[in-house]
C-alpha cells in the first residue's frame, strides 16, 4: 500500500486557517461593507477524501460561530453572516459577513433549492443544519450571444432564473452546482 504524504501538513494548514481568522477584519468591513474568507486550494489533489471535507466544514463552522460572536462584541447593529460549503469543490467554500446596504445585495445572489437534494454524508452529524442553495453563475444577455448555439443551448439547459438589472439588462442565473449554507441575520 502506497503511503499518502502531506495530510499532516494539510491538517496543520486548516488549523492555522482557523486560528488566523477567528476575527473578521473590522476596518475592511466598515470600509467595504463586506469581509470574507475563502478556502485555500490544493491544485495537486485529484480526489479529496470525505474525512478531509468534513474537517474543512467543521473549521468553517467554528469560524462562522466566532464571527457571529465578534459581530455582537463589536455591537454591529445589523449584519448578515453566510457560510457556504460547495458540494462539488470544497475549495470554493467561503464565509462572509456583510453590513448595511450590501445585505440585500448578497442575499439576492443565492437561490434556495426547490428540488429535494440529498446531503453529502460528510455533512451529517455536525453541530449545525445546512440548507441547500444553488451555486449560480450570472451571465448577461450580451455575454450569452457571444457563445455558439450549442454552448448557449447547454448553458440555458441549466437556467434557474432571469432577472432584470437596474440598467434594464437581463441577467441569466445558471445552475453551477449545490451550496450547503448556514446563515445568520441580525
Instruction: Band the pLDDT of 90: cuts 50, 70, 90.
Output: confident
Angle between helices 7-20 and 50-73 (to 10 degrees): 10
pLDDT at 1: 45
Q: What is the DSSP letter of 44?
A: T
Closest CA to 182 of 85, 97, 105, 115: 85
| pLDDT tens string 130-173 | 999 998 888 888 888 898 999 989 889 989 888 887 788 888 88
- Averaged over 56-75, what is the pLDDT? 95
CB atoms within 10 A of CB 138: 14
Assign 92 a pLDDT band (cuts: 50, 70, 90).
confident
**Residue 46 scores a pLDDT above 80:** no
Statement: residue 111 has pLDDT above 90: no
pLDDT at 3: 53
Q: Going by C-beta distance under 8 Å and a sequence separation of 6 or more, which residues neighbour residue 178?
A: 86, 87, 88, 113, 117, 132, 133, 134, 135
Q: How high is the pLDDT of residue 166?
A: 77
CA distance 57 to 83: 10
Check residue 97 and give its pLDDT: 95
- How does residue 45 score in pLDDT terms, banded at 50, 70 and 90? low
- pLDDT value, residue 94: 92
Q: In which band, very low, low, confident or very high, does the pLDDT at 84 lie, cut at 50, 70 and 90?
A: very high
Provide the pLDDT for residue 59.
Answer: 95
Report the percent of the chain where pLDDT is more than 70. 94
Amino acid at each position: 500500500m502506497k503511503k499518502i504524504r502531506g495530510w499532516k501538513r494539510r491538517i496543520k494548514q486548516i488549523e492555522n486557517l482557523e486560528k488566523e481568522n477567528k476575527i473578521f477584519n473590522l476596518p475592511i468591513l466598515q470600509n467595504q461593507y463586506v469581509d470574507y474568507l475563502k478556502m485555500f486550494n490544493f491544485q495537486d489533489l485529484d480526489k479529496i477524501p470525505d474525512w478531509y471535507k468534513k474537517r474543512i466544514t467543521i473549521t468553517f463552522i467554528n469560524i462562522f460561530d466566532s464571527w457571529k460572536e465578534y459581530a455582537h462584541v463589536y455591537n454591529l447593529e445589523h449584519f448578515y453572516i453566510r457560510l457556504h460549503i460547495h458540494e462539488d469543490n470544497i475549495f470554493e467554500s467561503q464565509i462572509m459577513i456583510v453590513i448595511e446596504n450590501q445585505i440585500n445585495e448578497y442575499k439576492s445572489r443565492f437561490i434556495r433549492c426547490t428540488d429535494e437534494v440529498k446531503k453529502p454524508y460528510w455533512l451529517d452529524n455536525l453541530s449545525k443544519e445546512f440548507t441547500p442553495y444553488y451555486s449560480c453563475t450570472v451571465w448577461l444577455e450580451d455575454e450569452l450571444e457571444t457563445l455558439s448555439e450549442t454552448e448557449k443551448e447547454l448553458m440555458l439547459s441549466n437556467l434557474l432564473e432571469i432577472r432584470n438589472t437596474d440598467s434594464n439588462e437581463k441577467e441569466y442565473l445558471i445552475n453551477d452546482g449545490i451550496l450547503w449554507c448556514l446563515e445568520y441575520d441580525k
